[in-house]
Amino acid sequence: MKRAGTIGKRLAAAALVSALALLMAGTAAYGATQTRYYQDRGFSGSGGELRLDVVFKDKNGNRKFTPRRLTLWYTEIVPVTCMPGGDQFLAQVLPTSIKFHKGRFVFPMQDDDFDGQSSGKVYRKGKRMNGSFIVRDFDPAPGVMNCTTNGPRAWDAGRCRKPNQSSKLPVCRL
């Protein structure tokens, strides 16, 4: 009888170890994250370039990734009109963490020398993003003040990849 009890305990311990191993393997799939890169190389024809880095997360382990955070907003050669000062170009990097809500984000950009806003939305299962960007007031240098984009600039960004990644996506230029 003593021997049967020992075998039963060993079987119970083995079942517990197996159950824990399955549980650990199952939880590894939960919480997976991906960073996806997007770019618009012409602000939908109005000039300027845009690069966005977005973190997607698969919360339930069902391979349905949803956008969670915008981690990089990078604009380059965006034309702005200044009074006085004429036409200038805006280059801006915002390494930040902007939360998405239901696939959308709105980000007011304000500091001492800059007032603007960006908004956007992820479309078609993360394959495209679009939105708008506006500069209301930007003072880049002494004597060059009141720069603006003269209204919102629409953008439409497609997926891209970093040069060290292998994929059929185009390489991100910025």
- 44 in the same domain as 16: no
- 65 in the same domain as 20: no
Report yes or no on 166 lying in a domain.
Answer: no
Report yes or no on 174 lying in a domain.
Answer: no
Residue with tokens 């990078």: 74
The mean pLDDT of 126-151, rounded to a whole number, is 88
The mean pLDDT of 76-85, rounded to a whole number, is 84
Report yes or no on 75 lying in a domain.
Answer: yes
Which three-class secondary structure state does DSSP give residue 39? strand
Over residues 143-172, the pLDDT tens digits come to 888 899 888 989 999 999 988 888 889 898
- 140 in the same domain as 85: yes
- 104 in the same domain as 24: no
Over residues 11-63, the pLDDT tens digits come to 444 444 344 444 444 444 556 899 999 999 887 667 788 999 999 998 887 87
- 90 in the same domain as 14: no
- 60 in the same domain as 25: no
d(C-alpha 143, C-alpha 145), whole Å: 6
DSSP for 104-137, please give it.
EEEEEEEETTEEEEEEEEEETTTTEEEEEEEEEE
Band (pLDDT 50/70/90 cuts) for residue 141 is confident
- 40 in the same domain as 57: yes
Least confident range of 96-100, 114-118, 153-157, 170-174: 170-174
| Partner residues linked to 148 by β-bridges | 81
Report yes or no on 165 lying in a domain.
Answer: no
Percent of the chain with pLDDT over 90: 27
Number of domains within the chain: 2
- 128 in the same domain as 102: yes
- 97 in the same domain as 113: yes
Report yes or no on 106 lying in a domain.
Answer: yes
Cα 173–75–152 angle (5° rounding)? 130
Report yes or no on 47 lying in a domain.
Answer: yes
Q: Does residue 7 have a pLDDT over 60?
A: no
- 45 in the same domain as 9: no
Percent of the chain with pLDDT over 70: 79
Its domain, for residue 121, covers 32-160
Mean pLDDT, the chain, as a whole number? 79
The mean pLDDT of 133-141, rounded to a whole number, is 88
Q: Please state the pTM of the whole predicted model.
A: 0.75
